[in-house]
Amino acid sequence: MSSRRHDVQPPHGGRGTSLYEDAPATWETSAAMGTMRGIPWWAAVLLALVFTGIGVFVDLERIDRLGLIFQGSYFLGCVIAVLWVQRRGLFGPMVQPPLILALAVPSVVLAGSGASAGGGLTAKALAVGTPLINGFPTMAITTGVTVLIGLARIATQRPPRRPTARPRPPRVPAQAQPPARAKAAARRPRSGGAAAGRPQRRPPAR
């Protein structure tokens, strides 16, 4: 049985729709890299969460604490997210580093072997709280960088200004405009009365 690809044909002869639209990027949908189209805000959050989760897992398995791999993956994930997200969904990735750390670290620690050795709630709290405390400096630096990048994008990626049209003078109807002869006659002095009172001279008889 052969599978065929069915494209959605919109009306008026448009192109098929897809998850990542083929339309040119506008100022609202563009990323920080020129005219490149950005990703939605939820995809940017997921990107940073995956990067951070990988870094936490590798470091906890490698040295049983958060190290350079976590710091690098966490920083890169949050920075790439705020650079790649669409302009209209910028606020979430701007301020997401604390939330990403608070979600990724407990999830990886509780799912791994760090909190499964027993000891009750105290052991679990220490297993979760210690990596969070150790990752606070990295979180503060990452948050500062993402906020600066977001503010720079807000300042530079603005809607295009519309050209201001000069106000046109009011149009006078053609019927209200006097003809040129009437204008010229109105400028001349009126001497019709004096000319009418004078007798007309006859030519001398030969």
Model confidence at 67: pLDDT above 60: yes
39 versus 33: which is more confidently predicted? 39
How far is it, in rounded angstroms, from Cα 84 to Cα 66? 26
Average of per-residue pLDDT across 178-189: 58
Q: How confident is the model at residue 152 (pLDDT cuts 50, 70, 90)?
A: very high
Look at the pTM and tell me if it is higher than 0.85: no
Mean pLDDT of the chain: 75
Domain boundaries of the chain, sorted by first residue: 41-117+127-156
How many CB atoms within 10 Å of residue 34? 7
| pLDDT of res. 11 | 44
Torsion (CA) 128, 131, 116, 60 in degrees, nearest 10:
160
**Up-side HSE of residue 62: CA atoms within 13 Å toward CB?**
11
Q: Answer yes or no: are the C-beta atoms of 28 and 87 closer than 8 Å.
A: yes
Among 28-32, 46-50, 51-55, 187-191, which is the least confidently predicted range? 187-191
Dihedral, 110, 115, 118, 122 alpha carbons, nearest 10: -100
Contacts of residue 31, defined as CB under 8 A and 6 or more positions apart, other chains included, come to 25, 37, 38, 39, 83, 84, 85, 86, 87
Length of the chain: 206
What are the residues whose beta carbons fall under 8 Å from the beta carbon of 142, sequence distance 6 or more? Answer: 74, 75, 78, 79, 97
